[in-house]
Chains A and B, each alone.
Chain A
Amino acid sequence: MKRIVLVFCTLLFFGYVTSQNLNKRNNLPSVNIKNLEGETFNTKEISNDGKPIIISFWALWCKPCKKELDAYNDNYDDWQEETGVEIIAVSIDDARSTAKVLPYVSGKDWDFEVLLDPNGDFKRAMSVNMIPHTFILNGAGEIVYQHTSYYEGLEDEIYEIVEKVASGENVSGNN
């Protein structure tokens, strides 16, 4: 009987834990980072009304990252019109340059949302090692594709996947 009670309690606990999870908006880890206004932003709040999301980790000291984001920015109007995709660029600049990110982004005239992860909390939770590291999330908030490094023309490949995701195709095999 003791054993049954133990099993019961354990399952009740896990049942509770998992049911807590039902209302979550995406499948990303819950990490408090900052937006460019210095306000706390929880990564569970990343959402795009059932449309695809691109999350790209970058930093001011990472030239290929900035090239990648420039390439996205050049295409962003078209991409949004066609698929409704949203881009979120997560800067992992530490206290050395977090205050420089906002004026840099303004100077670049990037149209997408930029978040700050100054101590790499979100980076670690997402198992990001080298940057640029880009994730594509489907409408259900699940990661369906990821890629590290940027070479000229990668944006075409990224967008092909976004198009598939937007039309409901299963692309998780690319992960």
Chain B
Amino acid sequence: MKKALALIVLSFLFTPMVKAQGFLSKSEVHGNFELDGMYYQADDALGITDSIINGNEFGFNGFADIIYTLGNFSAGFRYEAYLPPIAGFDRNLDGQGIANLWASYTTDRFSITIGDFYEQFGNGLTLRTYTEWSLGYDNALKGARFVFSPIDGIILKGVYGVQRYFWTKYENNNRGIVKGFDAEINLNDVFNGMSDSKIKLTLGGSAVSKYQSDQNPFYKMPKNVAAFAGRFNLGINKFNFSSEYAYKINDPSAINNYIYKPGAAFIFSGSYSTKGLGIYAQFKRVDNMSYKSDQAVTSNALDINFLPPLIEAHTYMLAAMYPYATQPNGEIGFQIAINYKVPKKSKIGGKYGMGVSINYSQMNNIDRSAPNDTAYIGQSGTMGWNSDFFKFGKQIFNKDLTIEIDKKFNKKFKSTFKYIYQVYDIATIQGHTGEPMVNANIAIIDMTYKLASKKALRWELQGLWTKEDNGNWAAALIEYTVSPHWFVTITDQYNYGNKHINEKIHYYTGSFGYTLNTMRIALTYGRQREGVVCVGGVCRQVPASNGFSLTISGSF
């Protein structure tokens, strides 16, 4: 009887599911993975000897991310292994395990996530957790996140948790607890009368707090550090304005040398966009705004907020020689950009038109004066400094003028020309104390010639001229691709202007790779020059090396 009853109940239940294409077919598993392996060799020219490598011939970074979804429910995990980490990654990553584990339930009106999650409030000035594999960076919050949209146009978010610190488990207050709340309202959605308006207005605000017990033997530390921010985005026809201001109460830390000054950050952007033309300007000021969930940490870890560097992100080999990173203790600057497409069939534009873009950015130190008569600027245990909000300090951190021209000559041949002028405070940004300001001129020609419908040859010629640092460089690249599967690339960067005769080194590499849909395998052999790899404003130092590197990645 019971069995019969159960059968009847089951058959009733399954009917709607069969109509819904069966409930198993509604569940889905997908994910991605990447394996990066390095084999290091000794190289006398780079000063790498067998004794330096000393048993560390191999580096291996790998991850696999798996997501399971069933209707509104989803769950996932990420396995990571650094056995040992590739040179240039934080040694604290050494190890392996489940780095990320979460489950969430999402409907049109709300979403709840338990476990490790990523979140950003506004521009991230008060809170941003994210992961960047190429840097070994992950500041995920482990805890709970709740997102609620009571009516269309209003989104409320609440987060609570502790951040990832490599493989170190959270226990006994060994780092801070982060709580945050964010609200965003889109007036066009909320007020019926505005839904068709040409004025689009979104307002937002956030409050974040970190709790960390006082473990400093010298200073009385605030246990709760709160940060607040307000923001808007306003679109009027072809104009768009957005701004965010964030404020943080006093937060003495190893980064700011334990001063008690409150922090602030401000970003204002304006743009004008019309068919074929975009103009953009931005102002930014940061004053003592490092915000980490452990006040003693100075490395790239445990950041609660994100201070975006507002300069052009360069990817060409020599253009990436002097990358800028936000100075969290203070910077003030601006950026202006123009993107223009010279129309098709005009005299200069030719048959296909021509793209022109100009970008100028400048970042200075903020202007500082001593906090009082008895203390010096930045002295531990004091208010640190006084600073006028709009006054530029005399010290220039970085200037960057980039002019780029894209031109397609005919169906087969197109090219990009780029000129860059940079001023770079290498002493402050890279910590090369005592070294003079770098002034560099960089020119790049990138040409692509289509040999057949799926075969193309691409080559780059680059030059960097400077009297400072390591002097002049020349670089070349040649690449052959067969779409959609194959590529072969050879590159060389030559430091011909180095003052030391034995440091006039060729950094050559040879690579080839194969792609099948989303699966990709690439093998590179050659020399890596010492430098800084930056992605999205976070940078890591890469030591010089010589050897093989293998990357296998995929997504399914």
| Chain B: interface residue total (CB-CB under 8 A) | 99
Provide the bound-state CA to CA distance between A108 and B276, in Å. 6
Chain B contacts with A in 13-64, Cβ cutoff 8 A: 13-14, 16-17, 19-20, 23, 26, 30-34
In the complex formed, the residue of A with least CB distance to B111 is: A30
> B240 contacts A95, CB within 8 Å?
no
> A152 contacts B450, CB within 8 Å?
yes
Provide the bound-state CA to CA distance between A119 and B140, in Å. 12
Provide the bound-state CA to CA distance between A40 and B203, in Å. 12
- Within 8 Å CB of A119, what residues of B? 118-120, 124, 128, 130
Chain A contacts with B in 19-54, Cβ cutoff 8 A: 19-22, 29-30, 32, 37-40, 42
> A94 contacts B339, CB within 8 Å?
no
Known: A29-B69, A108-B341. A118 touches B120 (CB 8 A): yes
Q: Is A148 part of the binding interface, using a Cβ–Cβ cutoff of 8 Å? A: yes
In the complex formed, the residue of B with least CB distance to A38 is: B233
**Nearest CB of A to B282, in Å:** 7
> A39 contacts B186, CB within 8 Å?
yes
> A20 contacts B107, CB within 8 Å?
yes
- Within 8 Å CB of A96, what residues of B? 308-310, 313, 536-537
- Within 8 Å CB of B186, what residues of A? 39-40
- Within 8 Å CB of A174, what residues of B? 517
Provide the bound-state CA to CA distance between A66 and B451, in Å. 21
**Nearest CB of B to A159, in Å:** 12
> B313 contacts A129, CB within 8 Å?
no
Taking a contact as CB atoms closer than 8 A, the residue among A32, A38, A94, A95 that contacts B155 in the complex is A32
**Nearest CB of A to B198, in Å:** 10
> A149 contacts B520, CB within 8 Å?
yes
Q: Is A164 part of the binding interface, using a Cβ–Cβ cutoff of 8 Å? A: no
**Nearest CB of B to A32, in Å:** 7
> A99 contacts B518, CB within 8 Å?
no
> B553 contacts A107, CB within 8 Å?
no
Provide the bound-state CA to CA distance between A100 and B269, in Å. 9
> B341 contacts A97, CB within 8 Å?
no
Taking a contact as CB atoms closer than 8 A, the residue among B9, B23, B453 that contacts A4 in the complex is B9
Taking a contact as CB atoms closer than 8 A, the residue among B72, B155, B277, B455 that contacts A106 in the complex is B277
Provide the bound-state CA to CA distance between A28 and B482, in Å. 31
- Within 8 Å CB of A18, what residues of B? 16-17, 20, 23, 26, 70-71
> A106 contacts B200, CB within 8 Å?
no
**Nearest CB of B to A89, in Å:** 15
> B339 contacts A146, CB within 8 Å?
no
Taking a contact as CB atoms closer than 8 A, the residue among A7, A19, A106 that contacts B276 in the complex is A106
> A129 contacts B555, CB within 8 Å?
yes
> B240 contacts A38, CB within 8 Å?
yes
Q: Is B556 part of the binding interface, using a Cβ–Cβ cutoff of 8 Å? A: yes
**Nearest CB of A to B139, in Å:** 12
> A153 contacts B454, CB within 8 Å?
yes
> B71 contacts A21, CB within 8 Å?
yes
**Nearest CB of B to A14, in Å:** 6
> A152 contacts B553, CB within 8 Å?
no
**Nearest CB of B to A151, in Å:** 4
Q: Is B242 part of the binding interface, using a Cβ–Cβ cutoff of 8 Å? A: yes
In the complex formed, the residue of B with least CB distance to A60 is: B313
> A124 contacts B118, CB within 8 Å?
yes
- Within 8 Å CB of A106, what residues of B? 273-278, 339
Provide the bound-state CA to CA distance between A84 and B106, in Å. 31
Q: Is B151 part of the binding interface, using a Cβ–Cβ cutoff of 8 Å? A: no
> A104 contacts B339, CB within 8 Å?
yes
Identify which of A39, A96, A105, A124 gathers the most chain B CB atoms within 10 Å of its CB. A96
> B553 contacts A130, CB within 8 Å?
yes
Known: A21-B71, A37-B235. A99 touches B282 (CB 8 A): yes
> B17 contacts A151, CB within 8 Å?
no
Q: Is A58 part of the binding interface, using a Cβ–Cβ cutoff of 8 Å? A: no
Known: A103-B337, A119-B128, A146-B517. A129 touches B269 (CB 8 A): no
> B313 contacts A153, CB within 8 Å?
no
> B155 contacts A40, CB within 8 Å?
yes
> B276 contacts A153, CB within 8 Å?
no
- Within 8 Å CB of B167, what residues of A? none
**Nearest CB of B to A117, in Å:** 10
> B278 contacts A151, CB within 8 Å?
no
In the complex formed, the residue of A with least CB distance to B352 is: A74
**Nearest CB of A to B24, in Å:** 10
Taking a contact as CB atoms closer than 8 A, the residue among A12, A95, A108 that contacts B306 in the complex is A95
Provide the bound-state CA to CA distance between A20 and B14, in Å. 15
Provide the bound-state CA to CA distance between A169 and B223, in Å. 63
> A95 contacts B133, CB within 8 Å?
no
**Nearest CB of A to B135, in Å:** 13
Provide the bound-state CA to CA distance between A101 and B555, in Å. 26
> A147 contacts B518, CB within 8 Å?
yes
Provide the bound-state CA to CA distance between A146 and B355, in Å. 29
Known: A12-B13, A94-B536, A103-B273. A40 touches B30 (CB 8 A): no
Chain A contacts with B in 138-175, Cβ cutoff 8 A: 145-149, 151-154, 156-157, 174-175
Q: List 27 A-B contacts (CB under 8 A).
A: A4-B6, A11-B14, A12-B13, A15-B23, A17-B73, A18-B23, A19-B16, A19-B17, A29-B69, A29-B74, A30-B72, A95-B123, A98-B123, A106-B275, A107-B339, A107-B355, A107-B357, A119-B120, A119-B130, A121-B118, A127-B30, A127-B65, A133-B555, A146-B555, A149-B487, A152-B450, A157-B454
**Shortest Cβ-Cβ A-B pairs, 5 listed:** A107-B339, A103-B278, A38-B233, A152-B456, A106-B273
